[in-house]
Chains A and B, each alone.
Chain A
C-alpha cells in the first residue's frame, strides 16, 4: 500500500513537471533560507558558551551623566577587579584587561612581527577565560612582571619552529617580555579575540578613571541581583574622594541636579548581541538583526508554504478523478488522507535534499555578505539537521494537510461524472493565501528600499572631510615622533605627495573626552579632544568657518592653541569664541594654563552615524603617533612606494604600514551595509518564490476557466478582454495586499530608522514603488498564462464537456 503511495507520488510529480518544479524548488529555496538563518542565529547565540562557568561571568559597566558629560560604556576603574577579589565573599574571581588599540611590533632576534590584538591582563584572566594551554601554566603565566602569553599562531609567526617558552621578546622596541605560555585559539566565538596577553600588575587607586574592562565570576548559587545591589552600594562610595579631589565638589552636590553615576553588570553571554555601547572591544552583533532575519525566514516559510497549499488545492480538479476512482475501488477517507500526506511529505524531503545543496551553494555568498564563517558541517550540524528535519516534516504535514483533507472529501459521484469545475471549493482560501503572500513580499520590498535609501543617505552625507587620497601611517619610534615636522620636506619633494600632517587619531577611531573651562567662567565644558599637527585641515580638506588655522610662524611654544568645531560652539553656547581663552580643567587646582581659541572648523564625522557629532576641540601638539599623507590621484602605487622608501630610511627598525583613511572610516558603515545586502538577497528570494507560486496558480486558474473562456470567445470576447479579465483578478488581490503591507512596514521601518542619529524622513516613495513593483511582478507572471488561455481555440475548450 505504502509502496503504491510512493510510486504514485513520484509518477504524479513526473507527469506535472511545472507544478513539481514550482512546488519543490520554492520549498527548497524556503528551506534553504530557513536553514541558513538558523545556522546564523545558532552561530550568533553561541558566543562565550565555550568558557567554563560562563553563566556566572559578568562584565561591569558605567552609565553616567556628570555635568552634561554622558557616558554609557562597558568600562571600569583600575581597582575594581582587585576589590571584587578581596572584599566580596560571593565572588569566585575577577579579572581586568586593558586593550592595546593599535598593532604592536614584537621582535625576536631579527624577526619582526606585528601583533594585531594585544591585551594587558591580570593574572586571574585565565581563571575566568579558560584558554587551553599548550605550554605553560595558566595559574602562573601572567603573575610575573613583563610576562607574556601567545596564541599558537602568534608564536609560530614570531618563533617559527623554536620553542618560545622562556624566550625574551622586545615589545614595541621599548621593553622586554618573557614568554610564559602558549594557548590554543578558543573553540568558540567571544566578544574579543586576542593574539597576545601581557601581564599587568599595577593598580592605580583612582575610581573616577575608567580605562579597564572588568569581568567578575560569581560563586555557584549566588543570586546576581543580590550581588549587583551590594556592588552598587559599595562602589558608589568609592568615587567620593575622587570627586572631591578631581572635580572639586562633593558627591551630594554633584548629583543634586540631573547628574547620575551608575555601575552596571551584564551577563557575559549577552555581550555579543545586546551590547552596542561606546568603547566596545570590537564591533558586536546586534539582536535586531537576529529578529529581522527570523522575521524574514518566517515570511519566506509562509510564502513557500502557501505556494504548496495553493498549488495542491488548485490542482485538485486534476486529481479529483483519481480520488473518485480510489473511493469506488474501496479506499476510505483515512487512506486517501494518508496517501496525500505521504505525497506532500515526500515532496518536502526532496525539497530538503535540494535545500542542502542550495545552502552549500549560497553559504560562501552569505558568509561574504555577513562576514561570518559559517559552514554546513560545523559543530552545530546535529542541531541543524534536527531543525531542518522538523521544519521539513512540518511543511509536509501542515502545508499538505489542507489539500489532503480537501481532496479526500470529494464525493466520487460528482467527480467521476467529469464535472471537475464544480469543485470550486478553496477559492476563497486561495485568495486569502495570495493576499498573505503578497503582503509579505511587499513588506520586504518596501523595507529593502527604505534600508537602501537610508544607507545611501549616509554614504552621500557630507562627512566634512575627504579621505579618498589620504593614507595613514603609524609612527613607531620616539625619534620619528619628535622630528616629524623636520622630515615633512623629505616627503613633499615628490610632487605627488600633496600634503602631510599628523594627529592623535583619525576619523574611524574613538575620540577621548576631557573637561575644559573658559576663562572667566566656572562651568566645566565636556569636550572631545583631538591633537593635531600643522596642515591637518589642508590634508583632510576640512573647511574653516571662522578665524585662522594653526600656523607655526605665528604661535609661541609656551601656550596652547585651540580650534573648536561648529557643534562645540553651538552646543556649549560659546559666544564670540575666537579670541577667548580655554584650558583643560585642572580640578580644584588654580594653576590654569589658558590658551587661545583661534578658529572654528566645519563639523566633520569621527564616529559612525549611530552617534551625533560631538563638541570637539582640536589642539596643536607635537606628541602625535599617526602621520598621514594626501597623495595625488595619479599613480598612487608609486607615490606610496616613494613614501615607504623614504620612511624606511627614517625608521629602519619598523616595517612600514599604512591604511587608507576612507577605508578606515568606511568600516563604520559596514554593518549596516551588510545588513542591507542580506536583506536585499532575502527579499529577492522571497519575491522569486512568491512569483513562482503565482505563476503556477495563474496557470491553474486559467485551466479551470477553460470552458468559461471558450464560451466567452464564442460569444465574441476579444483576446485583450479575456486577458484583462484573468489578470484583474490577481491585480485586485495584490492591491489588497498592499493595504495590509503599508502600515505593517511603516511601524517596522520607523523603528529601524530610529537607530540612526542621522536618518531620512520616512519617505512615501518606497511604498508607491513597492506597490507598482508588486503589481508589475504579478502582471508579468499572470499575463503569460492569461495570454495562453485567451488565444486558445474555443472549440478545444468546449468539446471536452
Chain B
C-alpha cells in the first residue's frame, strides 16, 4: 500500500538547516499494523505527516496505492487524503462547537454523502464504539477516553483503507488507553491498514511490526508476532 524510497525532509530557518528525515525507505503492506517508535525529535511525527499527506517531502519517492504522491499539490493531496486516510491525534482534535454526532459526521459531509446515509452510518458506528447515548453531547462533556473514541470513530466513518494515529493514548490514563487500543486492534482485524506513532512499548506491542527511528533514520525494524502471542 505504501512504499517509501529515499525519502528526505529538511526543515530550514534563516540560519539553521535540520534534517528531520534522512533517506528513509520502507514498505507497508495492505492490512498491516505498523508502529513507529523513537525518542522525541527523531522525525516520527514528520514521517506520519508525510504519510498522511499533510506535509511534503524534500526528495525521494512516496508511492501510495501504486501512485506517486510525493509532489502532489495541496488540492490533489487533499483529494487522496479525503478518500483514503483517517487521522487520530494525541489531543483528539474534536471541534468544540459540534456534537459527538456532528463531529463523526463531518468527513461524510465533506465527501458529499447523502443525509440519510450519513445518519445511518454515524449511528451504527456510535453503537459500535459504545457511546450512542452521548451522541448529542459536546466534546467537553465527555471523558478523555470517550473523546478519543469519538475521534477514532470520526477517522473510521469514511471507511478509509489507512488509519494514521499519532500517539492515540498519549493523553489518556491506562484503562482509557487500553479501550482505545482495543478499538484500533478491532479495526486492524477488520482489515484496515494502521500506522501508529507511539512512545509506549505497551501500545506498540499490539502491532505487527515496529520501526525504530533515530535522528531521521531507521535504526531497526522488527516483526512483533512473538510479543503479541505472549499476551
Footprint of B on A, CB under 8 Å?
1, 4, 7-8, 11-12, 15, 321-322, 324-333, 335, 411-413, 416-418
**Number of interchain pairs (Cβ within 8 Å):** 60
Main secondary structure of the interface of A (DSSP, over half): helix
Least Cβ–Cβ distance between A413 and chain B, in angstroms:
4
Least Cβ–Cβ distance between A634 and chain B, in angstroms:
71
Tell me which of B96-104, B178-186, B211-219 binds A.
Answer: B96-104
Contact of A8 among B87, B89, B97, B158 (CB under 8 A): B97
Least Cβ–Cβ distance between B137 and chain A, in angstroms:
13
CB of B72 closer than 8 Å to a CB of A:
no
CB of B55 closer than 8 Å to a CB of A:
yes
Asked if B75 and A329 sit within 8 Å, CB to CB, the answer is no
Q: Which residue of A lies closest to B53 (CB)?
A: A328
Q: Which residue of B lies closest to A411 (CB)?
A: B54
Asked if B110 and A330 sit within 8 Å, CB to CB, the answer is yes
Asked if A324 and B109 sit within 8 Å, CB to CB, the answer is no
Contact of A1 among B55, B98, B109 (CB under 8 A): B109
Q: Which residue of B lies closest to A413 (CB)?
A: B54
CB of B224 closer than 8 Å to a CB of A:
no
Given contacts A4-B102, A4-B109, A413-B49, contact A328 B81 (CB under 8 A): yes
Given contacts A328-B54, A413-B49, contact A15 B95 (CB under 8 A): no
18 examples of A-B residue contacts, CB within 8 angstroms: A4-B102, A8-B95, A8-B97, A322-B95, A322-B96, A322-B97, A324-B93, A325-B95, A325-B106, A327-B78, A329-B82, A329-B106, A329-B110, A330-B78, A330-B82, A331-B110, A416-B54, A416-B93
Q: Which residues 89-140 of B have a CB within 8 angstroms of A?
A: 89, 91, 93-98, 102, 106-107, 109-111
Q: Which residue of A lies closest to B98 (CB)?
A: A8
Contact of A11 among B78, B97, B106, B109 (CB under 8 A): B97
Q: Which residues 20-64 of B have a CB within 8 angstroms of A?
A: 45, 49, 52, 54-55
Least Cβ–Cβ distance between A38 and chain B, in angstroms:
35
Bound complex: CA A147 to CA B20 (Å): 102
Given A325-B93, A330-B82, A416-B89, 14 other A-B residues pairs in contact with their CB atoms under 8 A:
A8-B95, A321-B93, A321-B95, A324-B93, A326-B106, A327-B78, A328-B52, A329-B82, A330-B78, A331-B110, A332-B110, A412-B54, A416-B54, A416-B93
Find chain B residues with CB under 8 A from A12 CB. Answer: 97
Q: Which residue of A lies closest to B55 (CB)?
A: A413
CB of B188 closer than 8 Å to a CB of A:
no
Find chain B residues with CB under 8 A from A329 CB. Answer: 82, 106-107, 110, 154
Bound complex: CA A15 to CA B138 (Å): 12
Most chain A beta-carbon contacts within 10 A, residue among B45, B94, B98: B98
Contact of B96 among A7, A15, A326, A413 (CB under 8 A): A15
Find chain A residues with CB under 8 A from B87 CB. Answer: 328
Bound complex: CA A330 to CA B89 (Å): 16
Bound complex: CA A314 to CA B5 (Å): 42
Find chain A residues with CB under 8 A from B74 CB. Answer: 333
Least Cβ–Cβ distance between A156 and chain B, in angstroms:
63
Given contacts A331-B110, A412-B54, contact A326 B93 (CB under 8 A): no
Least Cβ–Cβ distance between A463 and chain B, in angstroms:
65
Least Cβ–Cβ distance between B181 and chain A, in angstroms:
21
Least Cβ–Cβ distance between B209 and chain A, in angstroms:
25
Find chain B residues with CB under 8 A from A412 CB. Answer: 54
Bound complex: CA A418 to CA B93 (Å): 9
Bound complex: CA A325 to CA B92 (Å): 10
Find chain B residues with CB under 8 A from A15 CB. Answer: 96-97
Given contacts A15-B96, A325-B94, A416-B93, contact A332 B54 (CB under 8 A): no
Q: Which residue of B lies closest to A14 (CB)?
A: B97
Bound complex: CA A642 to CA B231 (Å): 116
Find chain B residues with CB under 8 A from A8 CB. Answer: 95, 97-98
Bound complex: CA A556 to CA B106 (Å): 105
Find chain A residues with CB under 8 A from B107 CB. Answer: 329-330
Bound complex: CA A15 to CA B78 (Å): 30
Footprint of A on B, CB under 8 Å?
45, 49, 52, 54-55, 74-75, 78, 81-82, 87, 89, 91, 93-98, 102, 106-107, 109-111, 154, 158
Bound complex: CA A1 to CA B113 (Å): 10
Bound complex: CA A11 to CA B110 (Å): 20
Least Cβ–Cβ distance between A410 and chain B, in angstroms:
12
Find chain A residues with CB under 8 A from B91 CB. Answer: 418
Find chain A residues with CB under 8 A from B75 CB. Answer: 332
Find chain A residues with CB under 8 A from B54 CB. Answer: 328, 411-413, 416
Q: Which residue of B lies closest to A323 (CB)?
A: B95
Find chain B residues with CB under 8 A from A413 CB. Answer: 49, 54-55
Bound complex: CA A332 to CA B110 (Å): 8
Q: Which residue of A lies closest to B154 (CB)?
A: A329
Find chain A residues with CB under 8 A from B52 CB. Answer: 328
Q: Which residue of A lies closest to B115 (CB)?
A: A3
Least Cβ–Cβ distance between B125 and chain A, in angstroms:
15
Find chain B residues with CB under 8 A from A331 CB. Answer: 110
Bound complex: CA A331 to CA B52 (Å): 15
Bound complex: CA A411 to CA B107 (Å): 18
Find chain A residues with CB under 8 A from B98 CB. Answer: 7-8, 11
Bound complex: CA A416 to CA B87 (Å): 11
Find chain A residues with CB under 8 A from B81 CB. Answer: 328, 330
Bound complex: CA A332 to CA B54 (Å): 13
Least Cβ–Cβ distance between B206 and chain A, in angstroms:
23
Find chain B residues with CB under 8 A from A417 CB. Answer: 45
Bound complex: CA A190 to CA B175 (Å): 84
Q: Which residue of B lies closest to A418 (CB)?
A: B91
Bound complex: CA A83 to CA B154 (Å): 90
Bound complex: CA A85 to CA B109 (Å): 77
Find chain A residues with CB under 8 A from B111 CB. Answer: 330
Find chain B residues with CB under 8 A from A333 CB. Answer: 74
The 7 closest A-B pairs by CB, nearest first: A330-B82, A330-B110, A11-B97, A329-B107, A413-B54, A329-B106, A328-B87
Q: Which residue of A lies closest to B111 (CB)?
A: A330
Most chain B beta-carbon contacts within 10 A, residue among A11, A329, A335: A329
Bound complex: CA A4 to CA B105 (Å): 10
Q: Which residue of B lies closest to A328 (CB)?
A: B87
Least Cβ–Cβ distance between A325 and chain B, in angstroms:
5
Least Cβ–Cβ distance between B194 and chain A, in angstroms:
16
Bound complex: CA A332 to CA B78 (Å): 7
Most chain A beta-carbon contacts within 10 A, residue among B75, B89, B95, B106: B95
Q: Which residue of B lies closest to A331 (CB)?
A: B110
Find chain A residues with CB under 8 A from B94 CB. Answer: 325
Find chain A residues with CB under 8 A from B97 CB. Answer: 8, 11-12, 15, 322
Q: Which residue of B lies closest to A13 (CB)?
A: B97
Most chain B beta-carbon contacts within 10 A, residue among A322, A325, A327, A335: A325
Least Cβ–Cβ distance between A518 and chain B, in angstroms:
89
Bound complex: CA A368 to CA B95 (Å): 50
Least Cβ–Cβ distance between A343 and chain B, in angstroms:
11
Bound complex: CA A322 to CA B97 (Å): 9
Bound complex: CA A11 to CA B95 (Å): 11
Q: Which residue of A lies closest to B78 (CB)?
A: A332
Find chain B residues with CB under 8 A from A321 CB. Answer: 93, 95
Bound complex: CA A418 to CA B110 (Å): 23
Least Cβ–Cβ distance between A417 and chain B, in angstroms:
8
Find chain B residues with CB under 8 A from A332 CB. Answer: 75, 78, 110
Bound complex: CA A787 to CA B52 (Å): 43
Bound complex: CA A333 to CA B77 (Å): 12
Find chain B residues with CB under 8 A from A11 CB. Answer: 97-98
Least Cβ–Cβ distance between B73 and chain A, in angstroms:
12
Find chain A residues with CB under 8 A from B82 CB. Answer: 329-330
Find chain A residues with CB under 8 A from B49 CB. Answer: 413
Least Cβ–Cβ distance between B185 and chain A, in angstroms:
23
Find chain A residues with CB under 8 A from B154 CB. Answer: 329
Q: Which residue of B lies closest to A321 (CB)?
A: B93
Q: Which residue of A lies closest to B112 (CB)?
A: A1
Find chain A residues with CB under 8 A from B158 CB. Answer: 330
Bound complex: CA A8 to CA B87 (Å): 22
Find chain A residues with CB under 8 A from B96 CB. Answer: 15, 322
Find chain A residues with CB under 8 A from B93 CB. Answer: 321, 324-325, 416
